[in-house]
Amino acid sequence: MSTPPAPSSGNEKSNDPEATVIQPHGPGLDPTLRSPAPVSKRSVVDADGDGEADLPQNRSMPHQDLARDSLLALAPREVLDNRPTPVLGGVYLTAKLGQGGMGAVYYGLHSRLSKEVAVKVLPQNLAEQDPDLMKRFFREAQIATRVDSPHIVRVYDVNRDDASGLCFTVMEYVHGLSAHGLMQPEKGKPPARVDEREALEVVLAATRGLAAAHEEGVIHRDIKPHNILIPFAKNSAKPNLAGAKLADLGLARMESSDQNLTATQSAMGTPGYLAPEQAQDAKNAGKPADVYGMGATLYALLSGQAPFTGSSAAMVLIDTIQKPHVPIRNLRPDVSEVTAELLDRCLAKNPAERYSDGAVLCEALGACRDWLGSAVRGPARPNPAPGMHAPQHASHASRQSSAARVEVSPLPSPGVAATPIPRRSAVSVPPPAP
């Protein structure tokens, strides 16, 4: 694996073509027309007066100059490293990580928790113009706190700063890179194709977080490579693939809730990764839609592109609804048939034909990964993915009848728990050709 890029929060400003670059201040809200927030002279070396340093000593990000950041123009400031530094909720914001349609994300140093954090800030003018947006912002944090998993980015706090009126969420900071960064190790170069087993490892870890969310009745609705964060291994710049975390529940909703905070019933999510039913109506997005998004992410890691691409978001949505995806082995013939079949099921147009939820998908991904990692495999394709239907193509059926016997599990009804993994002893290996 090539050397990973600089640390990322998963909200890369320059690499995410779907991200919306926000305009933090609208007409009449130009920060240059307002008095800047005063700078406190209180020392932050010992913020609580206990005689001990409160900020983490080892920092992942350098201290940037945020004096010209218009979004933080009204945020209170205190001196850190001899520099006026924005402070929200006891967190010193020292670098900008990225921005999107729901606000900007900053790297922060939490004085009370003495740890690195990520802080998402909602632009004040957006909150003022659209009260529902503020509800969504707070709802995201509330939903995230319901899910307890090491594979979900944790939320520590959500609040509103009285002095500036800024709403913000304090989250776990993941020192590493996003799955998108894994695909693009070097800026400006075409996406790389990730090794199949490594791709399965990343998606399996993220799906463990998704399974925990589904267990709590939480639907993510925006799964994509940018929203999977991969931490670096301890004291190393090597990504810990098995530690991948699912991030950004900004579009999440409770499965049992009919509440809709969007102005229209339009599709929410990222074109290319959202399911056909979600492309038609955001309210149709259930657990199978998240399964589709995770399958689309695996597809992108393996091929370097989403299942559907186009010159406009509208064209991508139309193709998502109407056209079949290009089989992964057409783009990358070295991908195993079992992974290809798993992808076909994840990307099925009919939600009932996909894996029913994150837990079932976890089992299927784990079976695929374990089979690929097995030391001895016969040339005949087993059926390691739980509940996976094994369609017989003519050429494969001919090889099977003459050279090997494969014990295949029947396809379960939609939503039924996965079937046991077939025994490899059921596969007889033909002698090698002379």
**Cα–Cα–Cα angle for 245, 88, 108, nearest 5°?**
40
Q: How far apart are CA 294 and CA 303, in angstroms?
A: 14
Catalytic choice (16, 54, 161, 222): 222
Q: How far apart are CA 379 and CA 374, in angstroms?
A: 13
Across the beta sheet with 245-246, what order do the strands follow? 176-178, 228-231, 245-246
In order of 212, 287, 358, 429, the CA distances from 215 in angstroms are 5, 10, 9, 41
CA distances to 184, 230, 297, 300 from 4, rounded to whole Å, are: 9, 11, 19, 18
Map 261-329 to HEC letters: CCCCCCCCCCCCCCCHHHHHCHHHCCHHHHHHHHHHHHHHHHHCCCCCCCCCHHHHHHHHHHCCCCCHH
222 as an active site residue: the answer is yes
**CA 297/CA 207 separation, integer angstroms:** 11
The residues carrying an active-site annotation are 222
